[in-house]
Structure 1
């Protein structure tokens, strides 16, 4: 009885765990926004792949995505609202002091990400967090 139970458990653990995952139906280049018609569900034995279209549609591809290959969390992210070399507004606020100046982004990023920006007046490089309106808050 114990041996039969042990063999049943070992056999069950050795079976593949099938799951529904999302795969692109066409090649999606990096920086493209993913639309619902770009995805299909495929049944495979693969851990760590995304499976809910609601969590993917409207996001941006961070790398090239190829048809039939699984989508992983690191492959996608929120759409960038600041591109490299964009002119952005730098905002520094501390207590009652507020300084606003112009800067040039030295990278691209989405809301909440930290971005390196060159202050156009002083030519110094600062880091700041991208706000929803596209301004960069410097700490």
Structure 2
């Protein structure tokens, strides 16, 4: 197998996917509820993840996977908030930097743990039960 040929192909396609991801994030910045942009951005991250994993660029695959996971929640909601969009832009910048290092040095760089933490999907807040008008707080807590 001619690995150099596949590395070159990876760099070409990853660059295209990153450009498309950037365009979609810029669209989301203007229209946070544009579901098609979220879907396209998700597909770009998914493609980068698959290509990187197949050629052994595990760090890039991991960051793309986290980016994909983060976007998955927004896909189901159909919109994105400012902090979520900021995290996606950090992920994009991280991927661009990592792909640039592959271009320069030919090997996959280490993953920045802070980037992975930034991309971690936010934890859903615990649902809270509102008191019904006729219930006393003690009954909801299981006390009498």
TM-score, normalized by the shorter chain, greater than 0.5: no
Return the structure number with greater helix share. Answer: 2
Higher relative contact order (CA 8 A, sep 6+): 2
| TM-score (normalizing by structure 2) | 0.28
TM-score by length of structure 1 reads 0.29
Larger % of strand: which? 1
